[in-house]
Amino acid sequence: MTLSAFLRDYLYIPLGGNRRGNLRRVINLMVTMLLGGLWHGASWTFVAWGGLHGFYLVAHHGFGGMFTRCLAHLLPRTATVLVAWLITMLAVVVAWVFFRAVDFTTASTMLLAMFSIMDTDSFPKILFNAGLDTSRGIWLILTWSLVAVSPINSNNLFDRHLGTCMQSQSVAWFSIGAAVTMIAALIAINELRASTSPFIYFNF
């Protein structure tokens, strides 16, 4: 049971979901995401994080189709998908700033730094504040961006292996997938173990 599934099955759908008209769907989406933000902690920054995600969902349901059709008239399909993906990624990253920041002042500072990236004096501070130089920071960002975008996501990977196991009645493929995942996790932990930044949920 994931948080998204819990919010959908035990909050959004019982509230009426999208079965009671557009206005009620907007209200249900906002209520669900605001409470999802509060679930993470009693802070207004979490409310802002949830509210932004609710606003994004409302905007998507209200204007997403029209926006995509307009782009389709102007750009090839591949470019349309890329633009939509970039807009979504930017919106989500902005929202996560409020999740990570301890207050709105910190969030404002982080957002100003993010959108003043051409400032050569602040650029190294934007990348990292743990002693990493700019060039290494850039390469790490590019590398992990490719890792995040290129492979199939973990849920699809698990479903694929689970389907194979169920069809063959064998745990071989699942065991291989689990082993590869564990190795990758251990490598990542080993690379990051020198960091002093605690896991975000340790704060709750």
Q: Could you list the active site residues?
A: 40
Assess contact for 175 and 183: CB atoms under 8 A.
Answer: no
Among 110, 115, 94, 117, smallest CA distance to 48 is for 94
What is the rounded CA–CA span in Å between residue 174 and residue 165? 6
What is the rounded CA–CA span in Å between residue 112 and residue 108? 6
What is the rounded CA–CA span in Å between residue 7 and residue 192? 32
The residue with tokens 């995509």 is: 68
Assess contact for 44 and 104: CB atoms under 8 A.
Answer: yes
What is the rounded CA–CA span in Å between residue 69 and residue 78? 13
What is the rounded CA–CA span in Å between residue 97 and residue 110? 7
Assess contact for 36 and 53: CB atoms under 8 A.
Answer: yes
